[in-house]
Amino acid sequence: MRAKLEPLAGALSSLTPAPQHPALRFLVTALRERHGDCVAAVLFYGSCLRGGDPFDGLVDLYLVVDHYRCANRTWLKALWNRLLPPNVFYAQFPYEGRVLRCKYAVLSRADLSNGCSRRWFHSYLWGRFSQPTAIAWARNDALHEEVTGSLAEAIYTFLERTVPCAARRGDIESLWSGALRLSYGAELRPESGDRAGQLARANRDWYLQVTTAVAPLLSGATQLDAHGNYRLNHRARQQRRCRLAWKLRTVLGKLLSVARLLKALFTFDGALDYAAWKLERHSGQRVEVPERVRRYPLIFVWGLFWDLYRRGIFR
């Protein structure tokens, strides 16, 4: 499949170029110095990529590393990174009189490759990397090609596992907004209910181009015209299997989300404060972390989870 996706992989760099912002280059260099020669590539995604301004919120990055032990300060963090990837970290640096903030996830080259392929049942990685992602830095041309191959495969996997659930006719925005809702619904997320629709509208041209490239490779007949209107010819059995699979992913994803939140209590410095900041940013509601949760997180964090869920801050 990688060979068939080479045209899309080759086009991704031009479709999603990394912003040539000096603050982003500074940030990438600082993180490479922090983790040393272990870093193979740095991926840039999220709202700051869409806006092009690294100071507009929190820069979201993935550090793709050769292996986990060299990327983590302790063997225990490396073990958690391997068992339940990725590990997530927060960093901030002064830059020209301003503060540059970022959240970065550490993921091995092997897990990036596997997580973007159909070998992974859950959408955590292939769902995330099916959206616009720029390669901010790669160690060499071979690694750049390896990473773009994984990103192209993520797009193929995402569409292969969501298109059978879609209506038989529609446009590119409805196709992707519905697909993104499936992926978001398989995690605990603080975004508003229309987040998928907002992303589909904001990145319409990008989604149209990548879908056009992938459509001939998808199972079943998928027709897409130059205006972004599509027609599907999937059997009812395929649609039932797709919907069942996403019900299973939703249950599994909620459990994995809770597991990752608990893991972050031990691997993510400032995890509680970062989580509160992100929940407030997306929900518009005040989130306070009680002192008892800070002191004894494993005992009292469950009550905090339930309160936030009950208030509708994440779903």
- Whether the CB-CB separation of 119 and 79 falls below 8 Å is answered with no
| Strands, E assignment, the chain | 39-45, 59-65, 87-95, 98-108, 133-138, 169-171, 221-224, 229-233
pLDDT in tens, 252-285: 999 998 898 888 877 776 667 667 767 776 677 8
Question: What is the edge-to-edge ordering of all strands in the sheet holding 221-224?
Answer: 169-171, 229-233, 221-224
Backbone angles phi, psi at 112, to 5 degrees: -60, -45
The tokens for 175 are 């196709």
What's the confidence (pLDDT) of residue 125? 97
What's the confidence (pLDDT) of residue 310? 80
What's the confidence (pLDDT) of residue 270? 63
Go through the domains of the chain in sequence order and give each one's CATH number. Answer: 6-249 (3.30.460.10), 250-310 (no CATH)
For 200, other C-beta atoms within 10 Å of its C-beta total: 22
What's the confidence (pLDDT) of residue 214? 93
pLDDT in tens, 55-71: 887 899 999 999 999 99
- Whether the CB-CB separation of 242 and 165 falls below 8 Å is answered with yes
CA 8 to chain centre: 19
Q: Which of 114, 187, 147, 132 is nearest to 40 (CA)?
A: 147
Is residue 257 classed exposed, middle or buried when 0-12, 13-18 and 19+ CB atoms within 10 A define those classes?
A: middle
- Whether the CB-CB separation of 174 and 230 falls below 8 Å is answered with no
Question: Helix (H, G, I), strand (E, B), or coil: what is residue 33?
Answer: helix
Q: Is the peptide bond before 54 cis (omega within 30 degrees of 0)?
A: no
Integer-rounded Cα Rg, in Å, for the chain is: 20
Distance CA 237, CA 225 (A): 26
* For residues 126-141, average pLDDT: 96
Q: Which of 195, 16, 45 is nearest to 107 (CA)?
A: 45
pLDDT in tens, 186-234: 987 765 557 889 999 999 999 999 999 999 998 876 788 888 899 988 8
Q: Which of 8-17, 132-141, 218-227, 305-314 has the lowest mean pLDDT?
A: 305-314
Average pLDDT over the chain, rounded to whole? Answer: 89
Distance CA 282, CA 301 (A): 20
What's the confidence (pLDDT) of residue 188? 79
For 221, other C-beta atoms within 10 Å of its C-beta total: 11
Q: Is the pLDDT of residue 73 over 80?
A: yes
Max CA distance (Å), the chain: 59
What's the confidence (pLDDT) of residue 66? 96
- Whether the CB-CB separation of 129 and 154 falls below 8 Å is answered with yes
Place of tokens 């990103």: 151
pLDDT in tens, 75-93: 999 999 999 999 998 888 8
- Sequence length of the chain is 315
**With DSSP H G I counted as helix, E B as strand and the rest as coil, what are the percentages for the chain, rounded to 5?**
60, 15, 25
What's the confidence (pLDDT) of residue 224? 85
Q: Is the pLDDT of residue 132 over 60?
A: yes
What's the confidence (pLDDT) of residue 113? 97
Distance CA 50, CA 173 (A): 17
* Predicted TM-score (pTM) of this structure: 0.86
pLDDT in tens, 21-56: 899 999 999 999 999 899 999 999 988 888 888 888
Identity of residue 90: Y
What percentage of the chain carries pLDDT values higher than 90?
A: 57
What's the confidence (pLDDT) of residue 282? 65
